[in-house]
Amino acid sequence: MSRTPTPSWPADHAERYRAAGWWRGETFGQMLRERAAAHPDRVALVDPAAGSRWTYAELDERADRMAAGFAARGIAPGDRVVVQLPNIAEFFEVVFALFRIGALPVFALPAHRESEITYFCAFTEAAAYVIPAEHGGYDYRELAAKVRAEVPGLGAVFVTGGDPGPFEALADLPRDPVPLPGPAPHDLAFLQLSGGSTGVPKLIPRTHDDYLYSVRASNELCGVDEHSVYLCVLPAAHNFPLSSPGTLGALYAGARVVLCPQPSPDVAFPLIEQEGVTLTGVVPPLALVWTEAAAASTYDLSSLDVLLVGGAKFSEEAARRVRPALGCTLQQVFGMAEGLVNYTRLDDPAETIVTTQGRPISPDDEIRVVDDEDHDVPPGTPGHLLTRGPYTIRGYWRAPEHNATAFTADGFYRTGDIVRLTATGHLVVEGRAKDQINRGGEKIAAEEVENHLLAHPAVHDANLVAEADPYLGERTRAYVILRAGAGPLKPAALKAFIRGRGLAAYKVPDRVEFVEQFPQTAIGKISKKDLRAAAVRTAQEPVAGPAGG
């Protein structure tokens, strides 16, 4: 395995970001300590499913005790720990404990399965893996047993919320706090996952300094202060609910975080009423459901000031419905785990809020919109978005070859998004150049799923493309060529095969279509462009007979 140093900002840029006050030399561990000292009795976390309310003092103390437990099990600064926890208070106890040690959480999602988790544990040479015993009717101990069998080097597996089975319960770790020097502000804080367009997800190295800047600045732009109540609706480990301004923003401000166990209105709306939630963040499909449900709802949603919507393109028509339905300000957010986050401003004209995806957080976010040859396009013309700045990574973790193409020579990240810049400096997302499907905010790398399809003995070739979906925005369609002489294969059987390979459910193709051949470009390469066009053209058609699915 390569031991290339983690790419970082050149010294002159780092100096500039410090001088400008963007990087302030804080760490997340210190941040929590300071908040706990300033207002120990204020409620930091509400976990309605567990019926628990932890004050800042309690969260701080729990993080210290858990850090001691992890340290006693040999977890050291710089170690990677795959964290796969749902929206429960222990997520924060674990993550802040790792921050205190200087160990790096690797933020897996609850939906990930054997294929993804095995890769994260093996690639990061994880010292530990943290799971709930069960969640959403799924037994994570069984998953961990499979992962451990495949990754013999995996250290401990820690379990919360039930019988740990063959593993160790978090609750049984030693709990006497020990002195820990903690990381430096320029050290890595965690590894976030990329949505990706390649066979395996890339890992995104974020530092305390850079991430805290994005969190602090997000608070200002989203009006978060100590009176705010943030409802965490999306999976807590994702960059959007974590930092835009998210749970970490709320904790930074000394505000209250309410953990929503499920995103549906019948769970979220009562929590908004009971806890006086002032802001939350959702993906576009959920925003649609909420605006519809609000009309018939008897819950009092009047505390809600701001609804952040992002992760995928929010249509103008849907955006217009937010204020009338929910009585709050819409704030569009176009962000990426690699860094750059754009927000519409709370005081932007209403038209700007519904028709753009916002503008960058920082005066030091550099934006370029370029053509296929990296030449700047005239203002207002759609092109590829390139960016660099004080909280955008300069390279993925241990991926030098990929970095050579994913970043320009002078350090701009190639986002893979096609955008247009308005006269006011706002960005409008027009499309995507990367080979990724955005399924209602959940990102699917086409190549990853294609590789799994190709593993089926009857499959000769496969391509995954997006087709339009009225609710999700996009869903997936797999075009598959079967091997000559292969017996009949039903779409459902191929989907079951993919599921059986331990892939997160959202990556299983929504529709499988068998074809004789793929359209080709002039030089004989497979034309994904034509496949995408075909998928868009025929999205409404049922697929006929046994080939359909």
Give the interface with ligand OOB as residue ranges (CB under 6 A).
195, 239-240, 244, 310-313, 332-337, 341, 357, 415, 417, 429, 432, 438, 443
Residues sharing a CB contact under 8 Å with residue 40, sequence separation 6 or more, in sequence order: 55, 56, 57, 60
For residue 194, the minimal CB distance to ligand OOB (Å) is 6
Cα–Cα nearest to 437, from 481, 386, 482, 477: 477
Helix axes 284-296, 316-326, angle to 10 degrees: 40
Strands 459-469 and 473-482: antiparallel
Q: Which is nearer to ligand OOB, 312 or 399 (CB)?
A: 312
CB count within 10 Å of CB 23 equals: 23
Task: State the nearest-atom distance from the C-beta of 154 to ligand OOB, in Å.
Answer: 26
The C-alpha atoms of residue 372 and residue 381 are separated, in whole angstroms, by 13
| CB nearer ligand OOB, residue 341 or residue 459 | 341
Closer CB to ligand OOB, residue 143 or residue 428? 428
Least distance in angstroms from the C-beta of 302 to ligand OOB: 26
User: What is the Cα–Cα distance from 173 to 434, expressed in whole angstroms?
Assistant: 44
> Which is nearest to 528 in space by CA: 456, 433, 459?
433
Q: How far is the CB of 56 from ligand OOB (least distance, A)?
A: 25
- Rounded-to-integer distance, Cα 288 and Cα 279, Å: 17
Cβ closer to ligand OOB: 223 or 519?
223
C-beta closer to ligand OOB: residue 294 or 386: 386
CB of 294 to ligand OOB, least distance (A): 21
Q: From the CB of residue 461, how many other CB atoms can be counted at a distance below 10 Å?
A: 16
Query: Cβ closer to ligand OOB: 58 or 435?
Result: 435
Minimum Å gap between C-beta 539 and ligand OOB is 19
Residue 136, by phi and psi: left (phi above 0), alpha (psi -120 to 50) or beta? left
Q: Which is nearer to ligand OOB, 155 or 249 (CB)?
A: 249
Nearer to ligand OOB, 43 or 429 (CB): 429
Q: How far is the CB of 214 from ligand OOB (least distance, A)?
A: 9
Q: Which two structure tokens, joined as six digits, stand for 59?
A: 């969260």
Residue 50 beta carbon to ligand OOB: minimum distance, rounded to whole angstroms: 27
Cis link prior to 105 (omega < 30° from 0)?
A: no
Task: State which residue, 156 or 333, has the beta carbon closest to ligand OOB.
Answer: 333
Two tokens, residue 77? 């600064």
Length of the chain: 549
Closest to 335 in 3D by CA, of 364, 365, 355: 365
Least distance in angstroms from the C-beta of 218 to ligand OOB: 9
* Residue closer to ligand OOB (CB basis): 155 or 285: 285
What is the chain's alpha carbon radius of gyration, rounded to the nearest angstrom?
23
Residue among 84, 169, 197, 65 nearest 131 (CA): 84
- The string over 300-334, giving b where at least 16 C-beta atoms fall within 10 Å of a residue's C-beta and e elsewhere, is ebebbbbbbbbbbbbeeebbbbbbebbebbbbbbb
CB 412 within 8 A of CB 380: no
Give yes or no for a contact between 462 and 481, defined as CB atoms under 8 angstroms apart. Answer: yes
Helices (H) and strands (E) in the chain, counts: 17, 27
Which residue number is nearest to ligand OOB in terms of Cβ? 335
**261 or 281: CB nearest ligand OOB:** 281
- The SS3 of residue 342 is strand
**Do residues 489 and 497 lie in contact, with contact meaning Cβ atoms separated by under 8 Å?**
no
Pick the closer one to ligand OOB by CB: 240 or 506. Answer: 240
**Smallest separation (angstroms) from ligand OOB to the CB of 62:** 27
Tokens of 161: 């919320």
Strands of the sheet containing 473-482, edge to edge, are 459-469, 473-482, 511-514
Which residue lies nearer to ligand OOB by CB, 141 or 313?
Answer: 313
Candidates 84, 62, 459, 445; CA nearest to 238 is 84
